[in-house]
Amino acid sequence: MKLKRALIGLFTLSLVGMAQAQDFNWPADTELEAKAREYNAAYVDYMKSEQFVEATKPLYWLLVNVPKLNESIYINGVTIYHGAANATSDAAQKKTYQDSVITIFDLRKENYDNEPKWIENKAYYSYNYYKGDKAKLGQALAVFDRVVELNGTFNTINLVAAYFDLVYRHNAYNKAFTKVELLERYEKLNALLAEAEANGKDISAPKSTLEQLIVAMELIDCEFIEGTLGPRLTADPTNMVLANQIFKYSVQYKCLNSDSFLKALEIIDSQNPTFSTSQVRAMKYMQSREYDKAQPVLEKALTLAENDVQKADIHYDLAKVHAQAGRKSAARAAALEAAKLDAEKAKEAWLLIAQLYMSSAADCRRGISRVDDQAIYIAAYNAYSRAGDSKGMAEARARFPSKEELFTESRQVGETVNVGCWIGETVTLASRD
């Protein structure tokens, strides 16, 4: 019902009404001319008095016998047959009048070569007459296709909603499209709306209808993205339109762990990189422990960053990549840079540094002085302190030298010592007890 209400009253079309051309092509035969004049006057009088059913009779004679009399017989013919359809309660007769409206458009095309001028009107009537007719949905849809073929877009932008509604109905009733074809039509109509919006038109109503219809179709899910769109991108990796579709739908439908999403992301980021695409791409590599792939992408993201917060994020991720690769000094340098650029990132950065120190105890142990070897935990403690991690501080402190160990080596609490190794920090000795 919500979808139905979204479509009711959506279309306000400025239809060409009673326009009368100045020049009439009266028949050369005197008797035929007299009859044509009589019937032309008669149908106009009936039309003005809204006697539409009565007007169809003289109008029909004109359409059959003097089809090139004047374009006004087609312009007014739409008004008359539409009015007659609304005036009758007989379902069969109503359908005949409605079909006649569409026929009049076709006759106008045969006699006057100006289809782009009125094709949108034909689309409007086709939708209203045939949207509930399973057998004629394809016919109505073809008229909308013709509008785009001739004019590129719609002057009445709300008709885009009717267009996609016909696609939806034709597929529901007649299984007329594959999922890929439905998606292609949806994207093309979205493009029309985007163009109209760029030209200052309000697209909120048709945009809402399109979104409701695509949800109602239950067209897109992770399986469809991975099983249908993904293989198409693999076969045509230069297809940026498809890559952008997969990227957009993967985000929209939360399908971020698929191979197709990563493939699309790689293509987009390689062709039109942004900070976001490079950051997310690197994150995906890091999640799969492909750190060698992540590093150059992060370095690219750093050049695309627009502010210090973004730069801090990348430096922090680079610190993690360096750490995983065993480049601990480079990891610390990147973490310190992140902390300097963004105070909000400082705690995470110092926590990473503390963990680097804790994990280096075995590598940095020289085995000459137990106190010197345990000084690394004091450096870790200080880093945990800057991170605000009390649990880490307690863990590091538990590994400080004891008072007995300090005494044995003739060392004093408060004495300074250089940790050495890659850390190279000078710390103040303290005991764990």
Read off the pLDDT of residues 286-309 as tens digits, 9 standing for 90 and up: 999 999 999 999 999 999 999 999
Global pTM? 0.66
Q: Does 11 have pLDDT greater than 60?
A: no
Confidence of residue 19 (pLDDT cuts 50, 70, 90): very low
pLDDT digits (tens, 9 = 90+) for 218-258: 888 899 899 989 998 999 999 998 999 899 889 988 999 99
Q: Does 3 have pLDDT greater than 60?
A: no
Residue 49: Cβ within 10 Å count: 10
pLDDT of residue 390: 97
Q: Does 263 have pLDDT greater than 60?
A: yes
Confidence of residue 1 (pLDDT cuts 50, 70, 90): very low
pLDDT of residue 22: 53
The SS3 call for residue 384 is helix
CA distances from 105 to 7, 113, 146, 309, 413 (A): 24, 11, 13, 61, 100
Average pLDDT over residues 359-370: 94
* 8 Å CB contact between 405 and 375: no
pLDDT of residue 23: 87
Tokens found for residue 265:
């992301």
Average pLDDT over residues 144-160: 97
Confidence of residue 215 (pLDDT cuts 50, 70, 90): confident
Confidence of residue 12 (pLDDT cuts 50, 70, 90): very low
* 8 Å CB contact between 226 and 246: no
The SS3 call for residue 178 is coil
pLDDT digits (tens, 9 = 90+) for 163-201: 999 999 999 999 999 999 998 999 999 999 999 999 999
Q: Does 39 have pLDDT greater than 90?
A: yes
The SS3 call for residue 14 is coil
Kindly compute the dihedral angle of the four CA atoms of residues 185, 190, 192, 193, in this order, to the nearest 10 degrees: 150
Q: Does 118 have pLDDT greater than 90?
A: yes
pLDDT of residue 15: 46
* 8 Å CB contact between 322 and 328: yes
Average pLDDT over residues 21-29: 85
- Three-state SS sequence of 114-162: CHHHHHHHHHHHHHHHHCCCHHHHHHHHHHHHHHHHHHCCCCCCCHHHH
Instruction: Give the mean pLDDT of the chain.
Output: 93
CA distances from 176 to 26, 135, 180, 210, 386 (A): 47, 12, 12, 18, 64
